[in-house]
Structure formats: structure tokens, C-alpha cells
Amino acid sequence: MDRLFVDEAHYFKNLFYISKMTRIAGLPQTASERAFDMYLKVRHVQSVNGGGGVVFATGTPIANSMAEMFTMQRYLQPEDLKKHNLGLDNGCMFFRRDGPFAAAFSLCCFCHRWTG
């Protein structure tokens, strides 16, 4: 198999990740075997095709959280995560306060609204 086309890819968003951060809204601690099975298939196809060969189709790639964004990047952009030292399985590097989104968005401590 040299190509993988996945429709309704949001069904595979509960991929495991390792993080010391617990009880944080938007960072669920759930994992599914279906997502892990897809992850193994995606990584195999990418290894055969030099990092490509996978297409995800979905109407809701990121519905509720940064964890979903991290999951989609782990499926489709693993080399970019490694290149920028954001961790492939370790969510702490991606979710940390000084991570990739800290400069773009911040929560105003007075009005509790997002700015950026």
C-alpha cells in the first residue's frame, strides 16, 4: 500500500499523548485503539513514501481543543514537529506556556477574554 485516503478523519482524534499536565480544560486524557491503529497505518504509509502518501478529509479537523490540533499534526506533519522540537508523542512540549501559541494568543487576566 502506498497511499492512504481517510474520510471522516475526525473519528481518529483520540490519539494517545504523554503529558504531565492533567486536569486542564481542552487537554483530554482519553485514548482510543481506533486512533492508535490509524496512527500505525499512517506512519507505515509515510515511511514508504518519504513522509507523504496520506490524505485526511474531514469537515471538523479541530473542533474543540489544542489537543486535536496536536493530534492532526502528529498524523500529518510528524517531521515538522520533530524539526521544531515540539515533540511527537510528548504533549508537554506542544502545550507548554511558552509554546507555539503563547505569543499569538493570551488570556487577559482582567476580562478573561482572548487577545492576540
pLDDT tens for residues 8-32? 999 998 888 776 666 666 666 778 9
Question: Under 8 Å CB-to-CB from 88, ≥6 apart: which residues?
Answer: 74, 78, 81, 82
The answer to pTM > 0.85 is no
Domain that holds residue 64: 4-115
d(CA 51, CA 42): 9
Confidence class for position 99, pLDDT limits 50, 70, 90: low
* Per-residue pLDDT tens digits for 52-90: 999 999 988 777 777 788 889 899 998 888 887 777 766
User: What is the domain count for the chain?
Assistant: 1
Q: How far, rounded to the nearest angstrom, does the alpha carbon of residue 22 sit from its chain's CA centroid?
A: 17
- When pLDDT is cut at 50, 70 and 90, the band that residue 42 belongs to is very high
